[in-house]
A and B are shown apart, each in its own frame.
Chain A
């Protein structure tokens, strides 16, 4: 039994530019489907905006307000939060759309492939480093690795630790998102696979309700992982904008 069969990439339209392989695979198809569906939904809901929001407009305003008040205000601070809202909001909506589209039976979850979360994490890593460098200049940037409040002889220990923690941040972001998406789908697959493994329909009496419960948990996990990714993005940006030491 191939447990990870539904995570394999299948090339649908082979495409090549020079030596770069940009073929349309099932990953890209489902990513476009998820993001496109979300864009159409948001555009339909926010068409003809009014001062007093109607039923549909409230949904979009709730989403934006949730990210603005719940994530940006707390993590970046009220002064700079509106400036960084577009980044955090697009990360949140993109990951939410990609996580949710994978819950359709037969669909491919784009975020369960290492490439997508890794790219997102690297984008955020570079954004944070450049923000730190631009905001605090070279002196402040160096001070994030060698804080002046620490005695000089401690730099032998502190500087490597700070360097490693800086590099580990995007990796922990990437593995957290990927593993969460991978694990839930694999568990559902294994539970339903027990039916064919034991060659008995009686297993289905126990397996199918359990798979349904796991599916409900998956909806919750895909929402909370998008929230955590956006929250940590805001936290790292907030650390770069307002250095503590």
Chain B
């Protein structure tokens, strides 16, 4: 196989597999946060801020995959 083609396939695969973990993490986070809010609606503000920070952390993991994908496309 041509190395460039292999790199492109690897980049697509990298992004796809790399999104699984953060997807599960964000789903879990938001679900648990909603559970907490429905139990205690007056704490919604605090739960929201903590949830958004957690989402930003989980999202960063898929962005690492994105960086690797860019490296595969443009450098390899």
Measuring CB to CB, which residues of chain A are less than 8 angstroms from any residue of chain B? 4, 172, 175-176, 178-180, 182-183, 221, 224-225, 227-228, 231
Contacts and interface: CB of A to CB of B under 8 A. Distances in A.
Contacts of B53: 224, 227-228, 231
Interface string B58-72: 011001101100100
A175 B56 contact: no
A182 B67 contact: yes
Contact residues of B: prevailing secondary structure: helix
A179 B64 contact: yes
Given A4-B74, A228-B57, A179 B52 contact: no
Contacts of B67: 175, 178-179, 182
Contacts of A227: 53
A239 to B, nearest CB: 17
10 contacts: A179-B60, A179-B67, A180-B59, A182-B63, A182-B67, A183-B66, A224-B52, A224-B53, A225-B56, A231-B53
Contacts of B63: 175-176, 179-180, 182-183
B70 A4 contact: yes
A47 to B, nearest CB: 32
A221 B63 CA distance: 13
Contacts of A180: 56, 59-60, 63
Contact of A179 (B57, B66, B74): B66
B76 to A, nearest CB: 15
A3 B53 CA distance: 29
A175 B57 contact: no
A183 B60 CA distance: 10
A224 B52 CA distance: 8
B8 to A, nearest CB: 13
Contacts of B57: 228
B1 to A, nearest CB: 23
A224 B48 CA distance: 13
B56 A224 contact: yes
Contacts of A176: 60, 63
Best-surrounded residue of A178, A179, A228 (most CB of chain B within 10 A): A179
A220 B66 CA distance: 20
Nearest to B55: A224
A175 B52 CA distance: 19
A176 B56 CA distance: 9
Contacts of A228: 53, 56-57
A29 to B, nearest CB: 24
Contacts of B74: 4
A182 B74 CA distance: 14
A176 B70 CA distance: 15
A182 B62 CA distance: 13
B51 to A, nearest CB: 12
Contacts of A172: 60
